């Protein structure tokens, strides 16, 4: 399931062994085990944290995006 305009983690069903680690570490409970595999059951609740990706021992889940914060704007001299 996906939400239009909402980029979510991708789970490779060929790599997922259903260990449940990603489900256990997901702070928003967006993931669940279904039919023995990790599934994004509540994509609208995904907070884009790195926990699922970082903890998957099979590298079966990945976030196809990177969140970057711009550096603070510099003020011109005299402002």
Do the domain assignments include residue 52? yes
pLDDT above 50 for 1:
no
Percent of the chain with pLDDT over 70: 87
Of 25, 29, 56, 53, nearest to 43 (Cα)?
29
72 falls in which pLDDT band (50, 70, 90)? confident
76 falls in which pLDDT band (50, 70, 90)? confident
Number of compact structural domains in the chain: 1
The rounded distance, in Å, linking the Cα atoms of 51 and 62 is: 10
CATH number at residue 23: 3.30.70.20
The larger pLDDT score, comparing residue 56 to residue 79, is at 56
Q: Which two tokens stand for residue 13?
A: 């069903």
pTM for the model stands at 0.74
Q: Which residues of 26-62 are buried (b: 16+ CB within 10 A; e: fewer)?
A: beeebbeeeeebbbbebeeebeebebbeeebeeebbe
Domain limits for position 21: 10-62
SS3 62: strand
Per the CB < 8 A criterion, the answer to whether 61 and 54 are in contact is: no
Average pLDDT, the chain: 88
Do the domain assignments include residue 2? no
34 falls in which pLDDT band (50, 70, 90)? very high
């Amino acid at each position: 399931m996906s939400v239009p305009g909402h980029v979510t983690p991708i789970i490779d069903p060929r790599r997922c062994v259903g260990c449940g680690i990603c489900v256990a570490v997901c702070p928003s409970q967006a993931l669940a085990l279904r039919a023995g595999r990790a599934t994004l059951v509540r994509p609208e609740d995904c907070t884009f944290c790195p926990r699922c990706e970082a903890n998957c021992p099979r590298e079966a889940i990945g976030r196809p995006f990177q969140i970057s914060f711009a550096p603070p704007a510099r003020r011109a001299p005299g402002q």
